[in-house]
Amino acid sequence: MIQSMTGYGKSDKQVESGILTAELRSVNNRFIEVSIRLPEFLEVYEEELKRFISKKLTRGRIRASITLNGVKNETQKINIPLLKKYYKNLSNALKDLGIDEKVNIQHLLTFPDLICVETPSFKAENVIDSVKEVLSEAIEDLNRMRRQEGEYLSKEIYDHLEEIEKKMLEIERISSEEKKSYFIKYKKYLNALCHNLDFENDRVLQEAAILAGRLDITEECERVHSHISQFRTYLKSNGPVGKKMTFLIQELNREITTIGTKAESAETSHFVVDIKAELEKIREQVQNIL
């Protein structure tokens, strides 16, 4: 089953120093692109962790985050020098504004940077294996969501393909009904054009057949059905097929454009426009397929 490139995954793991949490968000992208936010003590492993994620995910723009919460022996302190600075600045501001009010502690505690969190120092090498483990679980969670989104996309694309096939059957019906009329039309046209010229009747018939043959769309229709069949095969695939689907859409558009160019009936032209609209909807969905 195909996978979407959009997804979210999360995993937690209790370690000696606290709770490790990995979060991954993925959106569509032509290639794999990974960015990661880490606690300061893990930043030395940033490139290694990016490579770790890239090996497990094929395509998409991936934003990863690793946090360490519930740290033991974590303490909070008020930054006294900064508190004194704020007190002085606020007191001067009130005096300059002529406000007869004193600065109190409630005023000062509205500044969030007054509270300092002090955490024990950690050695990254002691937790890096646990980080990779929690990342792997988050990646699997992300892939589960990608598969669910892929099922939805697959159903939507199947529906669009069925609409295209219905309209192709109508185009083929019209073409079959008009083949004989094309020949008769061009035969009359050539007879009228060559009325005063010494042309053999067989030559007129031959030229009329050639002109009528140029409007024949049998080969184009066969290729359209073949591409749709291949598209359905890709929808059942477990591997990355988004780029292959994009190529098939280009080929389908090319065949439909040729059919529209050959079409002489307004009805066929309308069906061609409808098919192109369905292909555009598929193209938008394929952009999000792995």
pLDDT over 60 (residue 103)? yes
CA distance 264 to 186: 13
Calculate the CA dihedral of residues 207, 211, 213, 214 and round it to 10 degrees: 140
Helix, strand, coil tally for the chain in percent (to 5) = 65, 15, 20
Predicted confidence band of residue 92 (pLDDT cuts 50, 70, 90): confident
Taking the CA atoms of 143, 146, 151 and 157 in sequence, report the sign of the dihedral they define: negative
Mean pLDDT across 229-254: 94
257-268 exposure pattern, b = at least 16 Cβ within 10 A, e = fewer: ebbbeebeeeeb
CA distance 78 to 121: 20
**Annotated domain spans of the chain:** 7-71+124-146, 75-118, 147-286
Q: Using one digit for the tens of pLDDT, what is the confidence trace for 157-173?
A: 999 999 999 999 999 99
Q: Give me 222's structure tokens.
A: 């066969």
Strand 32-37: give its sheet, edge to edge: 7-15, 18-27, 60-69, 32-37
CB 194 within 8 A of CB 123: no
Q: Using one digit for the tens of pLDDT, what is the confidence trace for 148-158?
A: 999 999 999 99
Angle at 190 between CA 184 and CA 191, to 5 degrees: 90
Indicate the CATH number for domain 7-71+124-146: 3.30.230.70
CA-only gyration radius of the chain, Å: 34
Q: Give 276's Cβ-side CA count (13 Å radius).
A: 14
The residue written with tokens 């697959």 in the block is 154
> Of 120-124, 174-178, 248-252, which one has max mean pLDDT?
248-252
Q: Give me 280's structure tokens.
A: 């555009």
Predicted confidence band of residue 108 (pLDDT cuts 50, 70, 90): confident
Q: Name residue 118's beta-bridge partners.
A: 75
Question: Rounded to two decimals, what is the model's pTM?
Answer: 0.72
List the one residue out of 130, 131, 153, 148 whose CA is nearest residue 8: 148
CB 107 within 8 A of CB 90: yes
Range with the lowest mean pLDDT among 41-50, 108-117, 221-230, 264-273?
108-117
Q: Count H helices, E strands: the chain?
A: 8, 6
Q: Give the per-residue pLDDT at 183.
A: 58
Q: Is 180 helix (H, G, I), strand (E, B) or coil?
A: helix
pLDDT over 90 (residue 90)? no
